[in-house]
Amino acid sequence: MENKAHDTAPGGRDFARRLIADMLRIRRMEEKCAELYGAGKIRGFLHLYIGEEACAVGALHALKEEDNIVATYREHGHALVRGVPMASIMAEMYGKASGCCRGRGGSMHLFDAARRFYGGNAIVGGGLPLAVGLALADKMQGRSRVSACFFGDGAVAEGAFHEAMNLAALWQLPVLFLCENNFYGMGTALARAEAQTDLTAKAASYRMAAAKADGMDVLAVHAATERAAARVRAGKGPLFLELQTYRFRAHSMFDPELYRDQAEVEEWKERDPLHVFPARLQAQGVLDEDEIAALDAVAEAEVAAAVEFAEAAPWEPVADLFKDVHTPEGEP
């Protein structure tokens, strides 16, 4: 089944404001992260979500606080919308002790157990078995909870994907598989890596319900996720939801991006959710240009405060270097 674009926000004006505000928060935070990376403030790997904001915002607003969330290394937006404070995320990017993982995780390993946000995972497909395990625990304990797992199209080629799909279907676990299909696994186009490019067909092979949604349309993503999560929560087994989206930036900050035509990127930019959705709301008279600009100003201020916090945050003491590092008993 395929989910079409929606014209109006189901929650009205306030809900539309929240959706735009969160997409702006992700976009402005990541634009600043790219700048800080160039300045040497953020080190290591950095994978930006710019262009895909509608997926995280639409999906996470359709899930509940008690649901489990598992993401990939392109997870800054998911963590932010889930409720991890931007200051905590930025400090983690800097590698500071005030970060959500005390500076030990960095960009790819954001984690917040209190908010049921279980990563941030640097391994392609690595989050899929974790989601299955979380869902198995919930089913065994009789809890009405969904484990939502975000992953990219590149993960569909991994063995962990097929193992996770098989077990989730076999045991009828409450897992919502959310595939953010941006059509490139690192630098490889989907058609060059997958003989079957209809990713919902993978779910069909495991007798699992599947759906598609326009990942550039925040309302379409929200509606599709809401329906999917309700089905999973009702005990009808796992569901695979493909969100067709596109990243405007390269795979990572190290990527020279020689594998795709710039004209293709520009064509997708015409569907930028941060342009299309606000324009639609203005045309409908739901929000005006000044209100949207005000939301953008709030996002910019939050980013500035987060950077200030990260700059002032302390480094982890050298004395804590071996904290939480364990060796087998008897070894030095």
DSSP string over 233-296 = HTTS--EEEEEE---SS-SSTT----SS-HHHHHHHHTT-HHHHHHHHHHHHTSS-HHHHHHHH
Give the span between the Cα atoms of 211 and 120, in whole angstroms.
25
Q: How far apart are CA 178 and CA 134, in angstroms?
A: 15
The whole-number pLDDT of residue 116 equals: 98
Burial label for 1, CB within 10 Å (0-12, 13-18, 19+), is exposed
Q: What is the pLDDT of residue 8?
A: 61
What is the predicted pLDDT for the residue at 1? 42
2-185+205-313 belongs to which homologous superfamily? Thiamin diphosphate (ThDP)-binding fold, Pyr/PP domains (3.40.50.970)
Angle at 160 between CA 178 and CA 133, to 5 degrees: 70
**What are the domain boundaries of the chain?**
2-185+205-313
Mean pLDDT for each 10-residue chunk of the chain (332 residues)?
Answer: 56 92 98 97 96 98 98 98 98 97 96 97 96 98 97 96 98 98 93 93 96 98 98 97 97 91 96 97 94 98 98 94 78 58
CA distance 92 to 94: 5
Q: Where are the alpha helices (DSSP H) in the chain?
A: 12-38, 53-60, 76-82, 86-94, 127-141, 159-170, 190-193, 200-205, 218-233, 262-269, 273-284, 289-312
Residue with tokens 């040497």: 40
Q: What is the predicted pLDDT for the residue at 110? A: 98
Which one, of 150, 146, 210, lies nearest residue 175 by Cα? 146
Q: What are phi and psi of 178, to 5 degrees?
A: -110, 100
Q: What's the angle, vertex CA 9, arms to CA 145 and CA 153, rounded to 5?
A: 55
The residue whose two tokens read 């999560």 is 229
Task: Determine the Cα–Cα distance for residues 268 and 183; give it in Å rounded to an integer.
Answer: 12
* Alpha carbon distance 294, 292 (integer Å): 5
Q: What does the pLDDT read at residue 9? A: 65
Distance (Å, rounded) from C-alpha 275 to C-alpha 310?
30
Report the pLDDT value the prediction gives residue 241, as an integer from 0 to 100.
98
The pLDDT score that the predictor gives to residue 332 is: 55
Is 37:46 a contact under the CB 8 Å cutoff?
yes
- Model pLDDT for residues 65-83, shown as the tens digit of each residue: 999 999 999 999 999 999 9
